[in-house]
Amino acid sequence: MQTLILADNQTITRYGMKAIASELLPICKNVEVSDWRHLAETLKAFPEACVVLDYTLFDCTAEQLLVLHERFPKANFILFSDQLGTAFVQRMLWAGPMFHVLMKDAAWEEIKQCWENVCSGRQFVCRKALDLLDGDGKKEADRILPLTQTEKEVLRAMALGKSTKEIAAERFLSAYTVATHRKNIFRKLQVNNAHEAIRYALRAGIVNPVEYCI
């Protein structure tokens, strides 16, 4: 049974999303949350839920959303808002395919497609959100290939200042294997060195800026 967590402070939006979910997801449990802490506690009980969240109205930050994504990697997040900034949309999309963007003025077909994508494990970004991305931002989002979970962990370790040998020892891998992961990370991100890769890790929320080892 799909669990739908409604993180939206507008009553009409919550009722509307419940009605839509009842039509598209016949077997669905609806849970309403009031703030970020309540959302985190609810995700503990339903770690594979789909969260419908109005980022512009709900009491949370982008960093908190990324922390939740790291803690509950199987949860989907539908960012459902009247308007979203370009930088925020880019950052969420860089974080991984579990983030979806749907504007509140979306047509029925887009809403339906969003739910279909979520249920089938595919990321959804509505047309209006895509239009938010400027030429350079869209090109960058398009050209970056998704990193595997292992590659993200290696990149995070790099950002924390760990050497190839240290990463290999921690992960019980050979230094050659870690070096191969590094090469794959650079290739996917189309960067030339660790510094550029770490900049991506900071933007994408793979590593917390407070932890970053300069």
Domain ranges of the chain: 2-134, 144-204
Dump strand ranges (E) for the chain: 2-7, 28-32, 50-53, 76-81, 99-103
Residue range 144-204, CATH number: 1.10.10.10
207 HSE (CA, 13 A, CB side): 23
Q: Tell me whether the CATH fold assigned to 2-134 matches the one assigned to 144-204.
A: no
Cβ distance 76 to 124 under 8 Å? no
Phi, psi dihedral angles at 9 (to 5 degrees): -85, 0
Model pLDDT, residue 144: 56
Domain 2-134 matching CATH 3.40.50.2300: the answer reads: yes
Sheet bearing 76-81, strands edge to edge: 28-32, 2-7, 50-53, 76-81, 99-103
Model pLDDT, residue 212: 55
Phi, psi dihedral angles at 2 (to 5 degrees): -75, 135
Q: What is the pLDDT along the chain (214 residues), one digit of tens a residue?
A: 689 999 987 888 888 888 887 887 778 889 999 888 899 999 999 999 999 998 877 878 888 888 899 899 999 999 988 877 777 888 888 888 899 999 988 888 999 999 899 988 999 999 888 887 755 454 554 555 678 889 989 998 988 889 999 999 999 999 999 999 999 988 888 777 788 888 777 766 677 665 555 4
Model pLDDT, residue 160: 86
Does the model's pTM come out above 0.85? no
Model pLDDT, residue 94: 81
